[in-house]
Amino acid sequence: QVQLVQSGTEVKKPGSSVKVSCKASGGTFGTYAINWVRQAPGQGLEWMGGIIPMFGRTNYAQKFQGRVTITTDESTTTAYMELSSLRSEDTAVYYCARIKSGSRGDMDVWGQGTTVIVSS
Amino acid sequence: DIQMTQSPSSLSASVGDRVTITCRASQSISSYLNWYQQKPRKAPKLLIYAASSLQSGVPSRFSGSGSGTDFTLTISSLQPEDFATYYCQQSYRDYTFGQGTKLEIK
């Protein structure tokens, strides 16, 4: 049974960067995609991008192109999402989620979420 | 980008009611449509995938239907634990979520 455990709350200054981790346990890391979805306070869900560790292939939402970098470390079965040039509008809960290989893109396992607060 | 529009945005209902939430895509997405339930301060939970397939462990009172551009999520008999926000998501080209439907107790 795959579980995703994310790093803790981050408080950042505008203009800085944040790197959130998502550690996977169970399953075979690398054979499924890890995606990142964020949720601003009181708002809906927004897909940011994803990676297939086995191939190292990334796919980013156009809105975040150039500002987000998603990576993995297979030795520690951990995925990372780094967001740069932070602004107040990036204050949100950031989730990692798994998409199984061969599925139709449904996100069946989610991390618990990481709160990122951007404030001067 | 494919846009997803849910209706209604909010809904009041009673325990035991039958409830339907609709989701419309801005272009055809075949059956690449998933439904999630989210409770406050919790991660979303997958309910339905591929438009009509029930995720393992999800009660059978939840069902999904549709293809192309129009989809529905139906809860046949509302239970107290079903009061939450529901999101549709297309996975035909990248991923886009609907704006959510908040289901509240009447």
Calculate mean pLDDT across residues A25-52. Answer: 94
Question: CA A64: distance to chain centroid?
Answer: 12
Nearest to A114 by CA among A29, A35, A46, A37: A37
- Residues A15/A120, Cβ–Cβ less than 8 Å: no
User: Does the beta carbon of A114 lie under 8 angstroms from any beta carbon of chain B?
Assistant: no
Q: B22 phi and psi, to 5 degrees?
A: -110, 155
pLDDT given at position A31: 84
A45 contacts B89? CB cut-off 8 A: yes
| Residue A101 binned pLDDT confidence (cut-offs 50, 70, 90) | confident
Distance CA A44, CA B75 (A): 21
Q: What is the pLDDT of residue B60?
A: 98
Tens digits of residue pLDDT in B74-99: 999 999 999 999 999 999 999 999 99
Shortest distance between the Cα of B100 and any Cα of chain A, in A, equals 6
Closest by Cβ to A44, choosing from B50, B87, B91: B87
| Helix, strand or coil, per DSSP, at residue A64 | helix
Identify the DSSP state of A50: E
Give me the pLDDT at residue A54, please: 84
Give the whole-angstrom CA distance, residue A52 versus residue A70: 10
- CA–CA dist A49, A60 (Å, integer): 4
pLDDT in tens, B37-51: 999 999 999 999 999
CB B105 within 8 A of CB B84: no
